Structure 1
């Protein structure tokens, strides 16, 4: 596509895959992170990812659609472009392709130009403004959200508000150095990773995963689409509590909000709006839910706890 440039190419490695046999969501996000870096270097920010830099970029808002599974050994590549350049932020689009041209996933993200020593955003330099014109495109259909409205702001509810609504932590931990980048803040990929490693405890969202017969039939669950919004940026050594909630369901999907909050201050680190489905590992297709399935899920749902 005109305006898009190759920013990353590699493969899906076996160690990046999960028990579903496909690339885990955290590694899709990490590969898009590589593509982001590749695009900014081409835009003229050649120092942004080097040690000792005083300014770089930081993700504020990240949306992803998973479209065709990637399995171990599959070659993958990412093409990237700019959707909108603002004074100190930019909206980027990345499209990940399989070797045969199928789209594996797409991402739309808002990234800010960040001054590390002052911990604030600041305007893009002239060279970026000029070079951006070459890489600017309209939003391609393949990257448009299907179940998530990117124009709706996330609230970022506090731990106390979530507890008052009946939620409790089902996952917890402390962020490690390996989960940060040149900014010394935790990456979007790390947030996706912490979510996927805790979701097995989320019984209200995935009761089927506690059903032995369901698992024996080689049935599971899959993520279709998600949007992550940072409200505060955690660093190495910061703790988090994971407080998820089911907010809706229909015949094909169920919708969640994954809340990561600071257990010390109670403030929100990030919210992830997500859309998932029941998944047949034999046919590699989603499973339609019955009316009884939907009614059972909605009995535990809290539709008012939007992100």
Structure 2
């Protein structure tokens, strides 16, 4: 095994922060995508994000842990390497760290395919890749392992009719725009989180204390913070495709809530991607997870959807 190599370095821009006052989750994934392209190049592949590329790397499953807040101006860097690979896919681990302390800010465990940019169909790695990938092979740090969820895809069929049958809550709806696409016309990876992040505040049953604040009730300055998530990509959207997000609570204890999101194509009912997130209410004044009273906890537990999976 080798040590991780540096793959990206930069900072948190103020305009990339959200209502919680810290780096929005989509930008973690945007920086990880840049790091992934640099890792590919280190492994001897041609630039994978250029419009004239003959091959690219397409994420299939992404497990992310958000380990420490990143506030405006914070300097950050990403290091990483390959965990393993087979004929046409690979497992990669990336770690984003605070530059000043070296403390992990986030980890990314990504299963990806070596694929044709025009069709997204996987095909075999070039011969030169195996030797280069072995030289870049690393171990997954303990803190990057799943903690509050499983990374296995669910067995339940995912569709609009299944969402209706489970009475999953509509939290988002819209269209993917040209500004969200990559050089090949597929949606960029960061919008797997971006579109859910834009919509989750509508999920009143999962965060009644935050919803009370939006409804004008006295409830303190509360937001919802994502601590961990796993995303399974079923298909990649193109510009102009529509989406609808249907969500349900999988479980809830006194600290965190596991929430499942199905991002669906309304015209066909088929899934674009599914996601399970581990989230918690956050006291934005004290910058820590909020205390949950018994009445709120009972309300949240009553909203759990038995058997829901990502």
Provide the TM-score with structure 1 as the length reference: 0.95
- Secondary structure of 1:211's partner? helix
Q: Which runs of 5+ in 2 are unaligned?
A: none
Determine if contact 1:209/1:215 at 8 Å carries over to the other structure.
Answer: no
- Which aligned pairs between 1:122-141 and structure 2 lie closer than 5 A? 122-141=123-142
Aligned equivalent of 1:262, options 257, 261, 265:
265
How has the CA–CA distance of structure 1 residues 2 and 285 changed in structure 2, closer, same or farther, with 3 Å as cutoff? farther
Further displaced range: 64-73 or 280-289: 280-289
How much has 1:214 moved relative to structure 2?
Answer: 7.2
| 2:196 counterpart residue number | 195
**How far, CA to CA, are the matches of 1:24 and 1:18 in structure 2?**
5
Q: Is the 8 A contact 2:83 2:93 kept in 1?
A: yes
The partner residue of 1:284 within 262, 282, 287 is: 287
- Give the match's secondary structure for 2:95: strand
Offset of 1:186 from its aligned partner? 1.3
Q: Is the 8 A contact 2:209 2:219 kept in 1?
A: no
Instruction: Provide the residue aligned with 2:35 in structure 1.
Output: 35
Alpha-carbon offset, residue 3 of structure 1: 2.9
TM-score, normalised on structure 2?
0.94
1:59 aligns with 2:59: yes
Secondary structure of the corresponding residue to residue 145 of structure 1: coil
Q: C-alpha offsets along residues 70-107 of structure 1, whole Å, 9 cap, x if unaligned?
A: 01110000001111111111111000000211111111
Change (3 A) 1:153 1:44: farther
Is 2:232 the counterpart of 1:229? yes
Matched, 1:217 2:220: yes
Structure 1 residues without counterparts, runs of 5 or longer:
none
| 13-22 vs 113-122, which moves further | 113-122
Supply the distance in 2 between the matched residues of 1:209 and 1:54 (Cα, whole angstroms): 47
Counting only pairs closer than 5 Å after superposition, residues 100-111 of structure 1 correspond to structure 2 as 100-111=101-112
Which one is further off, 178-187 or 36-45? 178-187
Q: Quick check: 1:23–1:70 contact (8 Å CA) kept in 2?
A: yes
* Greater mean alpha carbon deviation, residues 201-210 or residues 255-264: 201-210
Instruction: Please identify, of 182-191 and 227-236, the stretch whose mean Cα deviation from structure 2 is larger.
Output: 182-191
Please tell me whether residue 77 in structure 1 is matched to residue 77 in structure 2: yes
The alignment partner of 1:53 has SS state of coil
Q: RMSD in angstroms over aligned alpha carbons?
A: 1.8
Distance in 2 of aligned mates of 1:226 and 1:260? 15
Cα 1:119–1:23 change in 2 (3 A) is: closer
User: In 1, distance between residues paired with 2:196 and 2:281?
Assistant: 18
Q: Give the deviation of 1:234 after TM superposition.
A: 1.1
Distance 1:107 1:54, change over 3 A: same
- Tell me the CA shift for residue 155 of structure 1: 4.6
The number of residue pairs the alignment matches comes to: 307
Check 1:19–1:214 CA distance in 2 against 1; reply closer, same or farther (3 A cut). farther
